[in-house]
Amino acid sequence: MLATCETAIRYNLHACASEPIFIDLLVEATKGTNVLPVSGIAMPRGGDDPKHLLMIAEDYVKRGIKGFDTPLDICMIKDKKWDRALQYLKDLQSICEGVCQTNIVCEVNQLTQEEIATAAKIMSEAGVDNYKTSTGAVGRGPQPQDLITIKKNLSGKTGIMAAATGSFWTTQICLSFFLYGATVCSTRNAAAVIDGLDDFEAHYRALEFV
């Protein structure tokens, strides 16, 4: 965990994430830096009692966490319990507003485009910080059409956090997702993505366009 924090600080990453068991270590290691300490709640699919999740969020904030990833319960989405989902997100945002970034995860690989769009609308209404896609660790990762649908249906301050796992998350793939509307990319391969920028630029400049 300390090595991960050191890498995040050295590369001046937006955030560094850890398992909940390492929260106190993460907060201490990133103190006084620009790196936000981030952890997860009810990952990967949610499903817990919203009241319990809100209690966990309050605890995280008190302990110094500056951002967290938490799923929008896929059962709420599939059962179309949008009013309940919206109320949960509003309650969550009221705890975190101004002190902790909210990254709400949707397993886009298991959703229809209509469900992806509706989730974007209620996240915007609740005022969460980021609509975070599934990573592809189970099933496929985010596809260009997913990001297009999300971007089309977002409003207000809510951004798009495109997530991926594994070494396939290259510089080229990361940049392409920015082109499709992502405002943040979340990956364990961040150092390699950044290291690849110079080579990518050199190859790009060497291309001949006709």
Tell me, what's the pLDDT at 154? 96
Residue percentage of the chain with pLDDT more than 70: 91
209 pLDDT band (50/70/90 cuts)?
low
What is the rounded average pLDDT for all residues in the chain? 89
64 pLDDT band (50/70/90 cuts)?
very high
Give all strands of the β-sheet with 36-40 in edge-to-edge order: 15-18, 36-40, 67-71, 101-106, 130-133, 159-163, 184-186
The total of structural domains in the chain comes to 1
Q: What digits encode the pLDDT tens for the residues 15-33?
A: 999 999 999 999 999 999 9
CATH number at residue 137: 3.20.20.70
For 132, the enclosing helix (H) or strand (E) is: strand 130-133
Mean pLDDT of the 157-175 span: 83
CA atoms of 105 and 161, how far apart (whole Å)? 9
Tell me, what's the pLDDT at 210? 44
Q: What digits encode the pLDDT tens for the residues 176-198?
A: 889 999 999 988 889 989 999 88
Full domain range(s) for residue 102: 2-206
**Torsion over CA: 177, 130, 35, 45 (sign):** negative
Tell me, what's the pLDDT at 138? 62
> What's the Cα-to-Cα distance from 173 to each of 58, 149, 203, rounded to whole Å?
35, 18, 15
Mean pLDDT of the 69-79 span: 91
Does residue 117 surpass a pLDDT of 70? yes
Residue 127 phi/psi, 5-degree rounding, is 80, 25
**Torsion over CA: 197, 159, 189, 6 (sign):** positive
